[in-house]
Structure 1
Amino acid sequence: MKYVMIEIAYYIAGKAKQILGGTLSVNQYKDYVLALLFLKSASEYYKSNDSFQSDENKPFLRLLVSERSSFDYLYKELGSLELGKLINVALYELEQANSRVIEGYEINRAINFESNILGDTDERLSKLRELLHFFQKLTLTDDAGKLIDIGALYNLLLYIFAEEAGKKINNVLTPKEVIGLVAELIGDNKDNNSLCDPVSGSGTLLVEVGKRVGIRGANIFGQEANWNQYALTKMNLMLNGFKDSTFFWGDSLSNPKLTDDGGLKRFDIVASIPPFADKWATEEAEFDRYGRFQYGIPPRSQATWAYISHILASLKPNGRAVVVVPAGVLFRTSESKIRHQIIEHNLLEAVIELPQNLFYGAAISTAILVFRKDRKTTQTLFMDARKGYISNKGIYKLSDTMVEQLLNTYKGFLSGEQVWQENSCPAYIATQEEVRNNKYDWQTVKYVEEKIERVEVDVEATLQRIEKLEKRLEFVNEQLEYCTQQLIRLTNRK
């Protein structure tokens, strides 16, 4: 099943490039392709007698499909001069029937099939007809005739398009290994927990954590400022069985919409990968109505700590958060006062420094921070995973061995076990006093000893080798001088 899905994904990506890639970039055309996959797969599931369920944690997928949102209906209208409008209507009706549509931010407002970006009227119609014809013929079943996991196919396509675009700098483009590690760090869902990502990107993290932890759609919440990413998330959530989740369009820092009685809504779990390079407006932070910046106001040029402050304020009294951040968050002087307060309020549970270059197209160092409220210990676990990668043609990937060791070390820490220094995954449990002594610098190198293998040097033998090399050099210089003199004599004779 897995290999069938990979083949289908690359087949779709290849045809998309063939049809749209001549005049549009991957970042421009991927949304249209994913939207048509959304319509096609919803229709296939609706016509099928069986709802897809990949495992016990994943909800049944059963989308309601009206006549005008049916892919078969659109294909019958292939000759219509208003084909783009008909596709927009199909997206609108499918979203209205299957998700909580709040404030009217429909998918078709972000992905408009009447847009001139697809060309003038004739060119746009030609491209849309070719795309619809391709998807009409596309089979979404395996060799046994069973429908494949479209939610997984959708996310696989996101990564394929990201690789073609050459950029992986936000949630949707975050390496699968990192997203999987975040999900595993959160662990099992033993209670009826709620999950939030206030900077959702295309929803990949929400989907993967939701499936891994076993959280139902009604307990999943998110917000995203970018319209196109918002639309991708809405489709992603529905295709993965989370159609009754609550998801808003808007900026979580300047206009948080996940609120409750005038304050921020609180969650059991927050998992997030905020944008690495955002700036933010600090002007109103001092008088923030939600009290998000009690640990300090981050500088204007560094929005990551602003997002972390929002996340911490969104946790329930016993809530926990896992956040992927650029490594500068660990040590920048401009944010040291915030780190000071985080430690003194005993919120930091673990720090994992990751290898460089995991985010394709950006040679950036990153880390994972684990926060927990109502902690039973004041110690913090530091893990150094910077050397835990494998490389293939310049593409770096967090190794499976490192992921396993990180998870084992973290689980051992939670259960009170001793943490041992391992060459491949050095780790250390630091007290608050040790963090204070390091001036609230969270770099793992400040806590984790790197064992350097020292080789004994034979001084006498080394001196003898040096003496021989010096004599050899003296001989070479003499020969060079002789040759030079001979060359001069020959030149003078001429």
Structure 2
Amino acid sequence: MSETHIEQAQQQADLQKRLWAIANDLRGNMDASEYRNYMLGLIFYRFLSGRVEDYVNKQLANDEITFAQAYADKEIGPELTDDVTQTLGFFIQPDYLYSSLVSDIESGNFDIEKLQMAVNEVENSTIGRESEDDFRGLFADMDLTSNRLGSTPAQRGDLMAKVMLNLADIPFGVSDLQIDVLGDAYEYLIGQFAANAGKKAGEFYTPQQVSKILAKVVTLGKDKLKTVYDPTMGSGSLLLRVGNSAKIGSYYGQELNGTTYNLARMNLLMHGVNYSRFDVYNGDTLEDDHFDSKTFDAVVANPPYSANWNPDGKLEDERFRKYGKTAPKSKADFAFVEHMLYHLSTDGTMAVVLPHGVLFRGAGEGKIRQYMIETDNVLDAVIGLPANLFYGTSIPTAILVFKKNRQNKDIFFIDASSEFEKGKNQNNLTDDQVQKIVDTYAKRENIDKFAHKATYDEIVENEFNLNIPRYVDTFEEEPPVDVDKLVDDMKKTDSEIDQLEAEFSDMLGDLIGQNADAQRQLTKIKELFGK
């Protein structure tokens, strides 16, 4: 490991530890989803503020003038504001910089209203700009009027001031190295909040190791992709993981939950993805397809499992029409798959995490599955994952990999259900186990009790049932029994039982005899005393 990577790992570990300690100041009576919004919102605001401050300082490096002086100048100010907004997508005036707010706290001139005005101005600065949609409502979930922060504005201000001062002690630079470290620390916090959010965690977070598998599979053999798309993007962690595996031109995504949608935009920006390189939308993917007929080089998703949806009229929708059947009202799994395939480019790769039920359930789902295999020939692989990997659910899941224009009709099965390390609350995949799964998929070779390349005839023979044990035999035979030794052991055991019974009978006889003698002595005593 290089010195740079060692330094980055140390920075990351230190930052994660300090940030989580600060988060604990916010716990109080709030649950994880609530204090997550404040903690991540403040970190994000500090990050944005640092971006503005550093950019302006570079622009004014050769001028003997401060940011505040330049902003106040009637000629320089408007030009500077326009330059910053055009480049970064937003602007923060000097009085609202994070460093200025910290100075106000230290001098006793801070109040919660000023913080509210500061975050509002970030959004206001983008109005009429190309970046307006990307910054609209970013801080909507950081409710600074909530009584959970305190019953009075002063109490709420004191709590926010405490957290802001703690964050101010942490160096937030904007070099490439520091952005990576800060972005990864931000991702770490999202994961920590997921661990404390119970069932709600699945709404916004895919475990890092599962994301790695999907990302490596869709980028296999490619060092760059023009586009990547996630129709249920949550916090954006899966999109960013694909970006770690290949150079991405543009990121696309859609998310139903407004709070999670805000989190995804923050997450992308915190990882150094400029607003001009992502197009994400808040809405119901199945009901309101924001991207219409656009296709993408890589499509990834961890959609809500067996969610309810409205299939009425959907066979008139181009995304679902050709299958002839719709996914059941109470199980939208295949609806998401159909949507994703519709948006997958001809030479693209798609990977999606789904419950095992999609592999074998019948009725409409069985017809859809058969069409995808028999007619479209788009299913490339099925990878069974261990149980209890995800926050909020212990069910085992599978990754389905799809490709268009496949030349072969076989389907590759991997049973990785035993590939895990047991954790305190969740099971975990190690980096070696992740790489084993990806390498096995890439080589596409049979491995006893782990992987099997099933021919199309095998699939037909199984009536398009893709239940993994039908193709990967993981049965372990019992060791052969030595009958002669077993008989000898039984005889020996019987002999020991006979001996023990004899000893027990002798002991019982002695006890009965002693009791008889005692009974006779008691009778004599009673006679002597006339009783």
Q: With the length of structure 1 as denominator, give the TM-score of the two structures.
A: 0.86
Distance across 1 between alignment mates of 2:490 and 2:118: 79
Letter in 1 for 2:186: Y
1:185 aligns with 2:217: yes
* 1:398-435 deviations in Å (ceiling 9; x for gaps): 1333322222222223xxxxx13145xx1111122211
Q: 1:113 aligns with which of 132, 144, 155?
A: 144
Match of 2:435 in 1: 404
Match of 1:214 in 2: 247
1:387 aligns with 2:393: no
Match of 2:473 in 1: 449
Match of 1:268 in 2: 297
Counterparts of 1:300-449 in structure 2, within 5 Å, are: 300-334=329-363, 335-344=365-374, 345-393=376-424, 395-413=426-444, 419-422=445-448, 426-449=450-473
Match of 1:159 in 2: 191
The Cα of 1:390 is off from its aligned counterpart by 1.5
The Cα of 1:473 is off from its aligned counterpart by 2.1
Distance across 1 between alignment mates of 2:98 and 2:439: 47
Match of 1:460 in 2: 484
Match of 2:11 in 1: 4
Q: 1:127 aligns with which of 148, 159, 163?
A: 159
CA contact (8 A) 2:258 2:282 kept: yes
Change (3 A) 1:43 1:63: farther
- Larger helix fraction of residues: 2
The Cα of 1:93 is off from its aligned counterpart by 4.5
The Cα of 1:120 is off from its aligned counterpart by 2.9
Letter in 2 for 1:75: V
Letter in 2 for 1:337: K
CA contact (8 A) 2:134 2:265 kept: no
CA contact (8 A) 2:46 2:98 kept: yes
CA contact (8 A) 1:170 1:274 kept: no
Q: 2:285 aligns with which of 223, 227, 252?
A: 252
Greater Cα offset, 129-138 or 475-484: 475-484
Distance across 2 between alignment mates of 1:176 and 1:100: 29
* 1:39-71 deviations in Å (ceiling 9; x for gaps): 1122223434799xxxxxxxxx96754216531
* 1:181-236 deviations in Å (ceiling 9; x for gaps): 111111254565311101010100011112322112xx211010101100100111
The Cα of 1:73 is off from its aligned counterpart by 3.6
Letter in 2 for 1:479: E
Greater Cα offset, 468-477 or 176-185: 468-477
Letter in 1 for 2:41: A
Counterpart of 2:458 in 1: which secondary structure?
helix
Letter in 1 for 2:402: F
Change (3 A) 1:169 1:384: farther
Change (3 A) 1:141 1:72: closer
Letter in 2 for 1:118: L
Letter in 2 for 1:381: F
The Cα of 1:91 is off from its aligned counterpart by 4.4
Counterpart of 2:226 in 1: which secondary structure?
coil
Greater Cα offset, 91-100 or 330-339: 91-100
Match of 2:315 in 1: 286
The Cα of 1:284 is off from its aligned counterpart by 3.2
* Number of equivalent positions: 469
The Cα of 1:273 is off from its aligned counterpart by 0.6
Change (3 A) 1:149 1:278: same
Distance across 1 between alignment mates of 2:213 and 2:439: 12
Distance across 1 between alignment mates of 2:482 and 2:387: 37
CA contact (8 A) 1:199 1:272 kept: yes
1:476 aligns with 2:483: no
1:72 aligns with 2:99: yes
- Runs of at least 5 residues in structure 1 that lack an aligned partner in the other structure: 52-60, 414-418
CA contact (8 A) 1:168 1:174 kept: no
Counterpart of 2:353 in 1: which secondary structure?
strand
* 1:86-117 deviations in Å (ceiling 9; x for gaps): 24314424776997443985212333333444
Change (3 A) 1:138 1:223: same
CA contact (8 A) 2:231 2:340 kept: yes
The Cα of 1:488 is off from its aligned counterpart by 4.8
Compute the RMSD of aligned alpha carbons: 2.9
CA contact (8 A) 1:282 1:297 kept: yes
CA contact (8 A) 1:170 1:275 kept: yes
1:138 aligns with 2:170: yes
Distance across 2 between alignment mates of 1:269 and 1:155: 22
* 1:358-386 deviations in Å (ceiling 9; x for gaps): 11452210111101111111111101111
Counterpart of 2:215 in 1: which secondary structure?
helix
Distance across 1 between alignment mates of 2:398 and 2:139: 36
Structure of larger gyration radius: 2
Letter in 1 for 2:232: V
CA contact (8 A) 1:304 1:329 kept: yes
Change (3 A) 1:325 1:266: same
- Runs of at least 5 residues in structure 2 that lack an aligned partner in the other structure: 1-7, 59-86, 520-531
Counterpart of 1:429 in 2: which secondary structure?
strand
Q: With the length of structure 2 as denominator, give the TM-score of the two structures.
A: 0.80
Greater Cα offset, 106-115 or 297-306: 106-115
CA contact (8 A) 1:169 1:275 kept: no
CA contact (8 A) 2:422 2:428 kept: yes
Q: Matched residues, percent identical?
A: 27
* 1:137-159 deviations in Å (ceiling 9; x for gaps): 222369xx966632222111111
